[in-house]
Amino acid sequence: MNEPSTRLIACDKDVMTLRRLEKVFFAAGLKCQTKETAPAAADFEDGARLLLVSENYLQFALTVAPEDCAILVLVEEDSPGALGTAARDPRVNHLFGRRAANPVRPWEVLHVVRRIIKQYELEGIKPFLHWGARMHETLVTSSEDLHHVVEWVPTFCEKLGTPPKVQETFAELAHELLMNAVYDAPVDADGKALYAHDRKQEVVLADEQAALFTMGTDGETLAVSVRDPFGRLERRHVFGGMHRALAANGPLDTAGGGAGLGMMYIYQHGYGSFFTIKPGISTEVTVLYDLGLNRREFTTLPRSVHVFHEQ
């Protein structure tokens, strides 16, 4: 059998986290070098271009990692530091939220590194849910469709058995994502926004402009996703918007097109948000909620943010 050729360096002070990550990287088909200390320039001499570090080592990583190295960061609290770094440095596109001294989610690390090294193009919520999950998918071609979907979301959540606060939260999240896709994303042939100037007007989209809304659950995770066929979102809108809002304790970002509005809103409403950007083709935003957590646990849980930029 062929031996793995891609090598990853992982740096974290916690030995148990490193041991667990070694198994995940084996599953991903990677050679792995783990260290309890910060990365050094010598670590990259044999061509390693994938680095996972705790936030404690992030500043060291920025100084020694090559310009073409992807830097993945383990974050233990919601602070603007890592988000700000990601906004400024294109090497940082993946933040893994974890509680202090707790291991990361193996599936999340596996999902991200496999997509990076294999260039997998994944769509919708299916990759985030267990086999056999219940999923609903619909095209949204008008402002009327948008309102029907938003009205349906809390009903679905209620039947699932979620608390009223979660029902309300996901209805608001669906509304935000769909407003971005229906009003802010569409542009004409010259790249001029068609409906962003008036978010109260009635809108009817052509079939090729329709947004795709997906929601589902496997009983452990509740997931919602919206995809628009314009691809105007940029990574700076994601990390920059979240960073500014978190640093200012909550104001929403209003810059950028497509799903570029309300980044802090998206950040706060799930434990993980995944952005897949294909410039000029599509933008997809997926948000995940852990049904096993109570609201207090959820509000203090460090968030994950992942941006995949695909051609």
Q: Pick the last residue of a domain from 74, 97, 118.
A: 118
Q: Comparing 64-73, 74-83, 173-182, 248-257, which segment has the lowest mean pLDDT?
A: 248-257
In what order do the strands lie in the sheet containing 221-228? 31-35, 7-11, 50-54, 70-75, 92-97, 304-309, 272-278, 282-290, 221-228, 211-217, 134-140
Residues 46, 101, single domain; the answer is yes
The residue among 10, 265, 281, 143 whose CA lies nearest residue 273 is 265
Question: Above 50 in pLDDT, residue 141?
Answer: yes
DSSP state of 8: E
Domain boundary among 102, 118, 134: 118
The model's pLDDT over 261-309, given as tens digits with 9 standing for 90+, comes to: 588 889 999 999 999 999 999 999 999 999 999 888 888 889 999 999 9
101 — pLDDT class (breaks 50, 70, 90): low
CATH number at residue 184: 3.30.565.10
Same domain, 77 and 214: no
Whether residues 88 and 166 fall in one domain: no
In the predicted structure, residue 100 carries a pLDDT above the cut 80: no
Q: Is 149 found in the same domain as 216?
A: yes
Please say which residue of 83, 101, 118 terminates a domain: 118
Residue 147 sits in the same domain as residue 236: yes
Same domain, 155 and 187: yes
Please indicate, yes or no, if residue 71 is contained in any of the structural domains.
Answer: yes
Q: Looking at the structure, do residues 88 and 109 belong to the same domain, yes or no?
A: yes
Instruction: Kindly state whether residue 89 falls inside one of the protein's structural domains.
Output: yes
DSSP H helices, the chain, are: 15-27, 58-64, 80-88, 106-118, 143-160, 164-179, 235-247, 263-268, 295-299
Residue 2 lies in a domain: no
Q: Name which of 309, 233, 294, 291 is nearest 266 in CA terms.
A: 233
pLDDT digits (tens, 9 = 90+) for 39-55: 999 999 999 999 999 99
pLDDT for 4 equals 58
Contact in structure between 311 and 239 (CB atoms under 8 Å): no
* Residue 173 covered by a domain: yes
| pLDDT of 2 above 60 | no
Please tell me whether residues 162 and 297 are part of one structural domain: yes
Same-domain check for residues 261 and 173: yes
Q: Which domain holds residue 72?
A: 7-118
Same domain as 153, residue 82: no
Residue 44 lies in a domain: yes
Q: Is the pLDDT of residue 258 over 50?
A: no
Strand 50-54 to strand 70-75: parallel, antiparallel, or no bridges (unpaired)?
A: parallel
Domain membership flag for residue 159: yes
For residue 5, what pLDDT is reported?
A: 62
Write down the pTM of the prediction. Answer: 0.93
User: Pairing between strand 272-278 and 282-290?
Assistant: antiparallel
How many domains are there within the chain? Answer: 2
Position 295 scores a pLDDT of: 84
In a domain, 111, yes or no: yes
What does the alpha-carbon distance between residue 183 and residue 142 come to, in Å, rounded to a whole number?
10
The label of the residue with tokens 């990390």 reads 239
Q: What's the confidence (pLDDT) of residue 114?
A: 93
- Asked if the structure places residue 1 within a domain, the reply is no
d(CA 213, CA 200): 20
φ, ψ at 172 (rounded to 5°)? -65, -40
Structure tokens at 155: 């009903």
pLDDT score for 300: 86
Q: 103: which 2 tokens? A: 């291991």
In this structure, are strands 31-35 and 7-11 parallel, antiparallel, or unpaired?
parallel
- Which pLDDT score, from 0 to 100, does residue 299 have? 87
Residues 181 and 61 in one domain: no
Task: Assign residue 110 the CATH number of its domain.
Answer: 3.40.50.2300
Integer angstrom CA distances of residue 263 from 13, 176, 246, 258: 31, 10, 10, 11
Do the strands 50-54 and 31-35 form a parallel or antiparallel pair, or are they unpaired?
Answer: unpaired
Same domain, 272 and 135: yes
Say what the pLDDT of residue 230 is: 96
